[in-house]
């Protein structure tokens, strides 16, 4: 072996080692939802620590600072990283506080809808008969009613408020949980350990709580994770249409609506809150799919 070839060996080994390291990192990223989890983590941190993360007050602005472009564009200023809106409010600060509103809505609606839907789904699956028929017809009714139309009529009658938005979304969010949990409960109640519990004299309530509920928890978690994106998108649509969070609260849908008349001149006003909605909905859907693959034993066997 020549001296030159011998000198190149360590370089080749380092390149091969670096290549293997890159492959391992990419394989880990493909196996685990690293990027979606990072996006969701940024959203949660921004929402929880909004007073410390946001550089400005989201409700205060100055007409002298109106429609300032992002700092990397001509005319931009470093104090307004993502620019300002038509009345001089900092867009970054409003996006951060908008994440707080989205987080509160997602947690509240998912908790209420998940609890009610899981309870009704277990009852329908366990008792069957008239109870199953009534609950499933309620599910069909909520799925058949046009939610946006109901929201618009409700806002016309009662006015815009945060409480009305959360209440409407909670009323129409339990049906998915009930339908999926009922399907799981119908299968679980025919298992041997439930039959043994019946023979041992366990009451229906005890069987539902101690035996059926643990068996449907995975399904509830998957449904909840997949509902996050739809809840955020629904709130944004309602706010955009004027039937959601009232102004001047910095909800993302409100911000997009405020910027739709300025798309030709100040595109950043609507673009950045729209980008936040897009990234968060996409990340939540990826996380939901990954969680479904991890918690479903049938999918794990195929992996």
CATH value at residue 226 = 1.10.3720.10
Ordered per-residue pLDDT tens for the chain, 303 residues: 454 544 454 655 556 655 566 566 555 656 677 888 888 888 889 888 988 888 888 888 888 888 888 988 888 888 888 888 888 899 999 999 998 888 888 899 999 999 999 999 999 988 888 888 999 999 988 888 888 888 888 888 888 888 888 888 888 888 889 988 998 888 888 888 888 888 888 888 888 888 888 888 888 888 888 888 888 888 888 888 888 888 888 888 888 888 888 888 888 888 999 999 999 888 888 888 888 777 765 555 444
**Same domain for 70 and 8:** no
Query: pLDDT digits over 239-283, tens only?
Result: 888 888 888 888 888 888 888 888 888 888 889 999 999 998 888
**Same domain for 112 and 1:** no
**Same domain for 24 and 39:** no
**Same domain for 38 and 20:** no
**Same domain for 3 and 80:** no
**Same domain for 283 and 214:** yes
The domain total for the chain is: 2
**Same domain for 125 and 40:** yes
Query: pLDDT digits over 84-93, tens only?
Result: 888 889 999 9
pTM over 0.85: no
Is residue 94 within 8 A of residue 61, CB to CB? The reply is no
Q: The domain containing residue 19 runs over which residues?
A: 1-31
**Same domain for 27 and 56:** no
**Same domain for 11 and 104:** no
Is residue 248 within 8 A of residue 263, CB to CB? The reply is no
Q: Does the bond joining 81 to the residue before it have cis omega, within 30 degrees of 0?
A: no
> Minimal CA–CA distance to 285: which of 222, 220, 226, 224?
226
**Same domain for 68 and 25:** no
Average pLDDT of the chain to the nearest whole number: 83
**Same domain for 88 and 7:** no
**Same domain for 87 and 27:** no
């Amino acid at each position: 072996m020549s001296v030159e070839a011998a000198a190149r060996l360590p370089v080749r080994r380092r390149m091969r080692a670096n290549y293997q390291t890159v492959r391992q990192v990419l394989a880990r990223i493909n196996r685990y939802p690293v990027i979606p989890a990072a996006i969701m983590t940024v959203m949660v941190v921004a929402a929880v620590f909004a007073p410390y993360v946001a550089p400005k007050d989201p409700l205060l602005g100055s007409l002298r600072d109106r429609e300032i472009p992002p700092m990397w564009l001509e005319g931009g200023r470093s104090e307004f990283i993502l620019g300002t809106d038509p009345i001089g409010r900092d867009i970054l600060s409003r996006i951060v506080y908008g994440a707080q509103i989205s987080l509160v809505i997602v947690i509240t609606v998912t908790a209420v809808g998940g609890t009610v839907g899981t309870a009704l789904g277990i009852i329908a699956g366990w008792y069957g008969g008239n109870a199953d028929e009534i609950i499933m017809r309620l599910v069909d009714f909520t799925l058949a009613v046009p939610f946006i139309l109901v929201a618009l009529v409700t806002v016309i009658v009662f006015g815009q408020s945060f409480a009305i938005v959360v209440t409407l979304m909670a009323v129409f969010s339990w049906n998915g949980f009930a339908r999926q949990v009922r399907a799981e409960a119908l299968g679980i109640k025919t298992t041997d350990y439930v039959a043994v519990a019946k023979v041992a004299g366990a009451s229906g309530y005890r069987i539902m709580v101690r035996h059926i509920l643990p068996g449907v928890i995975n399904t509830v978690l998957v449904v909840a994770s997949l509902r996050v994106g739809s809840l955020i998108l629904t709130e944004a649509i309602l706010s955009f249409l004027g039937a959601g969070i009232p102004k001047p609260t910095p909800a993302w849908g409100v911000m997009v609506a405020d910027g739709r008349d300025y798309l030709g001149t100040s595109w950043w006003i609507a673009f950045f809150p729209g980008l936040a909605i897009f990234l968060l909905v996409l990340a939540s859907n990826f996380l939901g799919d990954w969680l479904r693959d991890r918690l479903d034993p049938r999918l794990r066997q195929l992996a």
